[in-house]
Structure 1
Amino acid sequence: MSEYGEPLDVLHRVFGYTGFRGLQEEVVRHAVAGGSGLVLMPTGGGKSLCFQIPALCRPGLGVVVSPLIALMEDQVAALRQQDIKAAALHSELPPDEARAVWRDLDSGELKLLYVSPERLTLDSTLARLDEMRVALFAIDEAHCVSQWGHHFRPEYRALPVLAQRFPRVPRLALTATADPRTVTDIQRQLGLEDSPLFRASFDRPNIAISAQPRDHERGQLRRFIKTASDGTGAGLIYCGTRRKAEQTADWLKQDGYDSLVFHAGLEPSAKREAHRRFARGDAVVMAATIAFGMGIDRPDVRYVAHTDLPRSPESWYQEIGRAGRDGLPAQAQLLYGAGDIALARHRIMESGASDEQKRVERQRLEAMVGIAEASTCRRQILLRCFGEDAPEPCGACDICLTPPRLFDGTVAAQKMLSAVLRTGRRFGLGHVVDVLLGKATQKVTQFGHDQLPTFGVGRDLTEAAWRGVARQLVAQGALDVAVENHGELVPTDAARPILKGEQPVMLREELVTQPARGSLRARGSIEAPSDPRFAALREWRKRTALAQGVPAYVIFQDRTLVEIAAEQPETLDQLGTIPGVGNTKLERYGKDVLRVLREHAAA
């Protein structure tokens, strides 16, 4: 046993918590005893403590494999706030700082080392570790090792060397996002087939989820942000392209938001600055591609929106999981269209992947389409993708709050398919809808489509309803969108039985309203108070973090500040009982916190 003591004592004295959550204690005690395993635990579920505490309790150095430099640096900063000797080793570290890290390692000064996979698996690094006592290896974001994972990283494929070279050292692989296929591949790649699988529920009940067909995107986003933002936390808007991310950040800025942009095409200095601003704790809105986010530790992201359909439930789950890590209410909204579905299918078909890989990617995409077009609880469908059955509807997603109505849409589907065929399968949705509605536009009359039998046969439905019919037929596979050819609608083989009346089609009525403000509220979450003490504590935390050059949440998380504002401790002993206030932080910040509370006691 190291100088840090027993796990429960470390949890309380160092991290400030009175008890473990969920599977944490089982994982920790297993690893402290020298056991290896795979840990599946949702974002915000406390994965880091599962390897940090065993690393402190076992003799020697804890080595943490992490794919992102920003994540390593943030976690090291948080550990140093607890007076834990930690460092990061990666490709962007200046040579003199890297030499200082190795000096500290050689002298036994460090207790936790965060390292990138490519740096760890260098022969020189492994040779140095051979000479040290290693407490454990933790492989964070372990889905990166799997070819089926949504963020496959080839450099992770070299990590099996750890089992071969350090057979007596426990290995913990941890991830918040893995379907059953990915789980099996992680276990095989890392030699964990005979080790336990620790599987927590993937449910994040404090995140309220909703999805809408993309109609007037900017208006939809404006309404969502107004509803979901608390004015102090951050927001994430995921966009399908770099250009769209830049345009979104621009109009948000014109609307008065403190908006940032992030994508892989930015200069490294611009990406670092955007990440620094986001991590610092400012109330920013980040418009980004999926290049931003994996490993983001900021706990007070209040909302995540997608302006395009994600490629799989795993991708969507990880991205919306960046909201509400502090346990406070958060919201996630998905906007999507028929073009997204068709484009994603086209990209899979045209990719250079193997047939098996294409088949799996297509299955995942169709599962994501099923979530978007759901007529029953979205959360139940999402959890089912991870092999988890929720016995009851969540009661908090948009489907549960406003159940859609289904209708027999066979005739409507036949009208739509017939109009596509009679116009020659060479026109986009707008033109086809004009024909159905009997609009004699210049383009309709130019091609003589006002003389077709289908001209005006669709006046019983609105334009929005016809767009919904087309989108749902694309989702069901009866229509395709020729993405390489200006978006023309093209019937598929699945359209034939519909046109012949051999196959009925059930469709959802299009909803044009959103849940009222405040009605889309997640289960199992605590409310952030509109308490001046809470606001004052956040302001003090921001100033303190800026002075130290660290993210605000490594000082105290919002959840801890909520508890402090609610309990109103008057002494250091009372403050020390608040979850998240360990001995080091009590000594370092306790007097300042009590002072802020006294100054705002009468507010």
Structure 2
Amino acid sequence: VYRGLDDGSIKLLYVAPERLANERFLARLKRLSISMMAVDEAHCVSEWGHNFRPDYLKLAQLAGDLNVGRVLALTATATPQVAKQICDSFSIAREDHVQTGFFRPNLALNIRPHNTSERDQALLAALQSRPSEPAIVYVTLQKTAEQVAGFLQAQGLPAQAYHAGLKDDERHRVQETFMAGQGNIVVATIAFGMGIDKADIRAIYHYNLPKSLENYMQEIGRAGRDGKPSECVLLAGSDDLTVLENFSYGDTPDGASLAGLINWLVARPEQFDLSVHELSGQFDVRPLVINTLLTYLELEGVVRATAPFYTEYKLAFRTSRDDVISQFNDERADFLQRVFATGKQGRTWLTLKPIDAAA
């Protein structure tokens, strides 16, 4: 890929925004003439959006640093407030902001109030009425995805669970079978969505309340992309509000925690490393909130991220550890033994922390 960039044979490069935190990668990009930066899912730029990712905030500044010829920012769900922040971030003129309508005449939107005890049977009846049609059932929690998929399977329906807690190959398998039309029902958290462009999804069911109107728009927007009639059913229950309120409160740190975190940061030497996961536990602030704070401090010139690094490595021995060590001379074998001894052995994986090994 790097060779293709250098010799000009690559015309399109797909990059995750988080990749742009790497100084070496940025140095390579600065040598190139970039005619356009297209930002997909641009609502992620906005902290008022439904899927805020702090690294998106840096894209506008990067576009300037890289002398990008033009910027195209695209999103299917931007409220006026989010659209304004996108335009402000990228210095997009008012006349260059194009907004089409949200109305999809082929989607029928239904809300059916149900208490918790009725919801499974209501979902089952709805799915049984259209047994062979592709459908997505959206839930809030990973465990709910497993429970609902298990219930539907027990009733003879070809349902599969999909959430961020599954192994990569299992998630890939579920997505591929659904796209190929072999598994018609997926019970999923919002992890199931990016890259799902299946034209004939006939129904979207919300087993739980969506997190926001923008989430709801994004999720039902996956139905009926072939223009044929499709149904969107929200099985609304007031008991879902508690979970959604917990998310909101969990994302809102108190002043004392933030002050403690900022005091920790300003007490660091000129160059230092940090673990967002460790800081999250130390100051009782969620990782996303810490990343947001660090991004704003970076945009204001207080700190600068240089590159990510790995705090630990996991090894699985394909032959016995003794066999591995026996292939080296005494000095190197001793060194390897001492490195391995600093790790923590699980059933399969040996977890090594370079800092511990170095010490």
Fold shared per TM-score above 0.5: yes
Looking at structure 1, the residues matched to 135 and 249 of structure 2 have their Cα atoms a distance apart, in angstroms, of: 34
Describe the superposition over 1:493-528 as per-residue Cα deviations: whole angstroms up to 9, x where unpaired.
xxxxxxxxxxxxxxxxxxxxxxxxxxxxxxxxxxxx
Looking at structure 2, the residues matched to 239 and 325 of structure 1 have their Cα atoms a distance apart, in angstroms, of: 22
Structure 1 278/102 Cα, relative in aligned 2: closer, same or farther at 3 Å? farther
Q: 1:221 aligns with which of 109, 123, 132?
A: 123
Letter in 2 for 1:177: T
Whether the 8 Å CA contact 2:160–2:183 is kept in 1: the answer is: no
SS at 1:199's partner residue? coil
Describe the superposition over 1:406-450 as per-residue Cα deviations: whole angstroms up to 9, x where unpaired.
xxxxxxxxxxxxxxxxxxxxxxxxxxxxxxxxxxxxxxxxxxxxx
Residue in 2 aligned with 1:201?
101
SS at 1:223's partner residue? helix
Whether the 8 Å CA contact 2:159–2:183 is kept in 1: the answer is: no
The size of the alignment, in residue pairs, is 253
TM-score by length of 2: 0.64
Q: 1:332 aligns with which of 228, 232, 235?
A: 232
Residue in 2 aligned with 1:278?
178
Whether the 8 Å CA contact 1:228–1:331 is kept in 2: the answer is: no
Letter in 2 for 1:220: A
Whether the 8 Å CA contact 2:34–2:67 is kept in 1: the answer is: no
Residue in 2 aligned with 1:107?
7
Residue in 1 aligned with 2:157?
257
Residue in 2 aligned with 1:296?
196
Task: Note if 1:183 corresponds to 2:83.
Answer: yes
Letter in 1 for 2:141: T
Structure 1 124/299 Cα, relative in aligned 2: closer, same or farther at 3 Å? farther
Residue in 2 aligned with 1:383?
none
Whether the 8 Å CA contact 2:45–2:56 is kept in 1: the answer is: yes
Structure 1 244/157 Cα, relative in aligned 2: closer, same or farther at 3 Å? same
Looking at structure 2, the residues matched to 257 and 342 of structure 1 have their Cα atoms a distance apart, in angstroms, of: 30
Matches within 5 A, 1:181-580: 181-193=81-93, 196-215=96-115, 216-228=118-130, 231=132, 233-345=133-245, 347-349=247-249, 351-352=251-252
Deviation for aligned residue 1:347: 4.7
Deviation for aligned residue 1:348: 3.1
Whether the 8 Å CA contact 1:260–1:285 is kept in 2: the answer is: yes
Whether the 8 Å CA contact 1:163–1:191 is kept in 2: the answer is: no
Looking at structure 1, the residues matched to 40 and 187 of structure 2 have their Cα atoms a distance apart, in angstroms, of: 26
Letter in 2 for 1:348: S
Deviation for aligned residue 1:349: 4.8
Residue in 2 aligned with 1:157?
57
Deviation for aligned residue 1:152: 0.6
Looking at structure 2, the residues matched to 337 and 168 of structure 1 have their Cα atoms a distance apart, in angstroms, of: 48
Deviation for aligned residue 1:185: 1.5
Deviation for aligned residue 1:241: 1.7
Structure 1 183/353 Cα, relative in aligned 2: closer, same or farther at 3 Å? farther
Looking at structure 2, the residues matched to 130 and 184 of structure 1 have their Cα atoms a distance apart, in angstroms, of: 29
Letter in 2 for 1:261: A
Letter in 2 for 1:236: I
Q: Which runs of 5+ in 1 are unaligned?
A: 1-100, 356-603
Residue in 1 aligned with 2:275?
none
Looking at structure 1, the residues matched to 177 and 165 of structure 2 have their Cα atoms a distance apart, in angstroms, of: 18
TM-score by length of 1: 0.39
Looking at structure 2, the residues matched to 353 and 281 of structure 1 have their Cα atoms a distance apart, in angstroms, of: 44
Residue in 1 aligned with 2:270?
none
Residue in 2 aligned with 1:131?
31
Deviation for aligned residue 1:163: 2.9
Deviation for aligned residue 1:174: 0.3
SS at 2:239's partner residue? helix
Over the matched positions of the two proteins, sequence identity in percent amounts to 38
Whether the 8 Å CA contact 1:228–1:330 is kept in 2: the answer is: no
Mean Cα deviation higher: 105-114 or 175-184:
105-114
Deviation for aligned residue 1:320: 0.8
Deviation for aligned residue 1:269: 2.6
Deviation for aligned residue 1:303: 1.1
Deviation for aligned residue 1:129: 2.6
Deviation for aligned residue 1:234: 2.2
Looking at structure 2, the residues matched to 120 and 168 of structure 1 have their Cα atoms a distance apart, in angstroms, of: 14
Looking at structure 2, the residues matched to 114 and 354 of structure 1 have their Cα atoms a distance apart, in angstroms, of: 38
Looking at structure 2, the residues matched to 341 and 217 of structure 1 have their Cα atoms a distance apart, in angstroms, of: 15
Describe the superposition over 1:26-71 as per-residue Cα deviations: whole angstroms up to 9, x where unpaired.
xxxxxxxxxxxxxxxxxxxxxxxxxxxxxxxxxxxxxxxxxxxxxx
Deviation for aligned residue 1:345: 3.9
SS at 1:304's partner residue? strand
Letter in 1 for 2:231: Q
Alpha-carbon RMSD: 2.3
SS at 1:210's partner residue? strand
Letter in 2 for 1:169: G
Describe the superposition over 1:455-511 as per-residue Cα deviations: whole angstroms up to 9, x where unpaired.
xxxxxxxxxxxxxxxxxxxxxxxxxxxxxxxxxxxxxxxxxxxxxxxxxxxxxxxxx
Letter in 1 for 2:140: G
Deviation for aligned residue 1:343: 4.3
